[in-house]
């Protein structure tokens, strides 16, 4: 029996979407490769300093596209995810600005940090 | 043969490293989390494992998207921690147990698992913090075999597959010709989501069912697909795979387990934290 050609639909596209959630699948990994590679470089203190010294040059060196550059400039996590960013690598980017996970959660949900913390605490009930 | 004394599981969160460094364990925010550990440390003092096999997920310290193994087994003499970019202090290096690493690699590969072997491997907070939490004082007294399971890039291995990996690793530990005592650790979870408009998602009901299942019906969570688990536990809650691998390992040579101690606390950072210690029946 001849093999059927596989659909190019990715797994996440073929399953019902989970609201507010972007699984980091092959499509995201391809789209975000350069952005994530730049964020991965922020494991190094020297690279973090270099980024802060000249952000535009640093983004240029990693070959970010215009959408990714705008997302970096805006510091908006939802835009960074839409541009292919992965949560674990983006956390290193956020770390440069001293943002913790609750800051990032508040930003993405449109809450103040105290509101976001209250939402977390409420999950214990 | 070596003796598999039991299994441990805990959440890992970078901020825990900062809290330990600053000595905040007794502050109101941290106390409900850290208070779970002393009974487990006392048990560890009694059973005194020499080696731990730790299932964890790397967060972009050792592995980048250029090469992303599904299952990677450390086979190094020593494992170094390093700067992860978050300003948490770097911990001293950990001793490896290469004889057990290679015994696991050989045995588990014979059972049709395709592994990546790593003779150099940086270990991030997901590997180092559980060790620091269980053995807080001085130099870490155990040597380690880190086993990294991909939770960064989909497709992830299924819960069923990860449990089976744990079973195979447990059998490898049980057949290791050594007088040493071994414990297994699962590091990750429980429910949490860092990214997207659903950030801050926590599912206490599911977490408590999962914790209970590890005692009463250890394969319960293997019924769920990765998509189900992301939906029920959040994008990063899927790290509960590490707990499943740990639990699978305990089935080798032990029909039942006994709960030593457990804890569940919401929230630390954005995470529902879980803690569990299980002793294998003699």
Cβ atoms within 10 Å, residue B161: 18
Q: B194, A81: Cβ pair inside 8 Å?
A: no
- Whether residue A13 is predicted with pLDDT greater than 80 in this model: the reply is no
pTM over 0.90: yes
Q: Which residue of A has its CA nearest to B122?
A: A43
Closest CB from A77, A92, A123 relative to B266: A123
Q: Which residue of A has its CA nearest to B229?
A: A18
Residue B282 — very low, low, confident or very high, per pLDDT cuts 50/70/90?
low
Question: B169: domain CATH number?
Answer: 3.40.830.10
Half-sphere exposure of B186 (CA within 13 A, CB side): 33
> What's the whole-number mean pLDDT along residues A10-32?
86
Domain range enclosing B53: 3-280
> What confidence score (pLDDT) does residue B255 get?
73
Q: What is the pLDDT of residues B226-239, one digit of tens each?
A: 999 999 999 999 99
CA distance A69 to B178: 55
Residue A6 — very low, low, confident or very high, per pLDDT cuts 50/70/90?
very low
CA distance A88 to B61: 10
- Whether residue A1 is predicted with pLDDT greater than 60 in this model: the reply is no
Active site residue B192: yes
Segments in B140-240 forming alpha helices (H): 159-174, 204-216, 226-233
Active site residue B125: yes
The CA-CA-CA angle for residues A32, A37, A41, to 5°, reads: 150
> What's the whole-number mean pLDDT along residues B253-266?
91
B203 chain-A contacts, CB cut-off 8 A: 123
Q: What is the pLDDT of residues A44-84, one digit of tens each?
A: 999 999 999 999 999 999 999 999 999 999 999 999 999 99
Q: What is the percentage of chain B residues whose pLDDT exceeds 90?
A: 95
The interface predicted TM-score (ipTM) is: 0.94
Q: What is the pLDDT of residues B173-206, one digit of tens each?
A: 999 999 999 999 999 999 999 999 999 999 999 9
Q: What is the mean pLDDT of chain B?
A: 96
Which of B12, B59, B192, B265 is labelled catalytic?
Answer: B192
Exposed/middle/buried for B109, CB within 10 Å: 0-12, 13-18, 19+? middle
Torsion angle of C-alpha atoms B215, B152, A14, B116, degrees rounded to 10: -80
Tokens of B105: 């690699």
Q: How many domains does chain B have?
A: 1
Residues in B whose CB is inside 8 Å of some CB of A read: 13, 15, 59-61, 64-66, 82-87, 152-155, 193-204, 227, 230-231, 235-236, 265-267, 269-270, 272
Q: What is the pLDDT of residues A91-100, one digit of tens each?
A: 999 999 999 9
- Whether residue B245 is predicted with pLDDT greater than 90 in this model: the reply is yes
Q: A11, B65: Cβ pair inside 8 Å?
A: no
Q: What is the percentage of chain B residues whose pLDDT exceeds 70?
A: 99
Contact A104, B272 (CB under 8 A): no
Residue A8 — very low, low, confident or very high, per pLDDT cuts 50/70/90?
very low
> What confidence score (pLDDT) does residue A16 get?
87
Q: What is the pLDDT of residues B62-120, one digit of tens each?
A: 999 999 999 999 999 999 999 999 878 899 999 999 999 999 999 999 999 999 999 99
> What confidence score (pLDDT) does residue A7 get?
46
B266 chain-A contacts, CB cut-off 8 A: 120-121, 123-124
Closest CB from B60, B203, B231 relative to A40: B60
Annotate A91-112 with DSSP letters as a single string.
HHHHHHTT--HHHHHHHHHT--
Question: What CATH number was assigned to the domain covering residues A24-122?
Answer: 1.10.700.10
CA Rg value for chain B = 17
Q: What is the pLDDT of residues B117-146, one digit of tens each?
A: 999 999 999 999 999 999 999 999 999 999
Q: A87, B235: Cβ pair inside 8 Å?
A: yes
Which of B59, B103, B125, B265 is labelled catalytic?
Answer: B125
Q: Suggest the residue from A20, A34, A119 to mutate for an interface test with chain B (most B CBs closer than 10 A).
A: A20
> What's the whole-number mean pLDDT along residues B277-281?
93
């Amino acid at each position: 029996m001849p093999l059927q050609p596989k659909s190019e639909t990715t797994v996440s596209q073929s399953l019902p979407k989970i609201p507010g959630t972007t699984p980091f699948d092959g499509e995201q990994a391809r789209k975000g490769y350069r952005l994530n590679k730049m964020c991965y470089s922020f494991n190094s203190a020297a690279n973090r300093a270099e980024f802060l010294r000249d952000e535009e040059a640093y983004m240029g060196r990693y070959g970010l596209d215009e959408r990714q550059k705008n997302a970096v400039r805006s510091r908006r996590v939802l835009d960074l995810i839409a541009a292919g960013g992965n949560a674990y690598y983006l956390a290193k980017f956020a770390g440069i600005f001293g943002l913790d996970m609750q800051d990032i959660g508040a930003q993405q949900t449109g809450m103040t940090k105290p509101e976001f913390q209250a939402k977390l605490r409420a999950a214990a009930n | 043969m070596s003796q598999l004394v039991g299994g441990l599981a805990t959440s890992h969160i970078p901020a825990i490293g900062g809290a330990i460094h600053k000595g905040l364990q007794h502050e109101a925010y941290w106390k409900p989390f850290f208070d779970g550990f002393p009974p487990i440390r006392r048990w560890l003092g009694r059973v005194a494992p020499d080696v731990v096999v730790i299932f964890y997920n790397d967060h972009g310290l050792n592995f980048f998207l250029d090469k992303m193994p599904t299952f990677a087994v450390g086979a190094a003499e020593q494992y170094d921690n390093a700067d992860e970019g978050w300003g948490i202090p770097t911990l001293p290096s950990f001793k490896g147990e290469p004889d057990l690493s290679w015994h696991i690699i050989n045995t588990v590969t014979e059972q049709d698992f395709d592994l990546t072997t790593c003779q150099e491997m940086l270990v991030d907070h997901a590997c180092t913090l559980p060790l620091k939490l269980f053995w807080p004082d001085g130099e870490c007294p155990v040597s380690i075999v880190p086993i990294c399971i991909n939770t960064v890039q989909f497709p992830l291995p299924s819960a069923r597959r990860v449990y089976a990996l744990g079973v195979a690793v447990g059998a490898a530990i049980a057949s290791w010709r050594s007088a040493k005592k071994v414990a297994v650790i699962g590091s990750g979870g429980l429910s949490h989501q860092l990214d997207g408009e659903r950030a801050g998602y926590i599912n206490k009901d599911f977490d408590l069912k999962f914790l209970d299942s590890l005692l009463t019906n250890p394969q319960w969570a293997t019924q769920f697909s990765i998509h189900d688990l992301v939906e029920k536990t959040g994008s990063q809650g899927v790290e509960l795979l590490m707990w499943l691998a740990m639990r699978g390992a305990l089935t080798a040579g032990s029909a039942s387990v006994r709960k030593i101690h457990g804890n569940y606390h919401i929230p630390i950072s954005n995470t529902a934290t879980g803690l569990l210690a299980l002793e294998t029946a003699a």
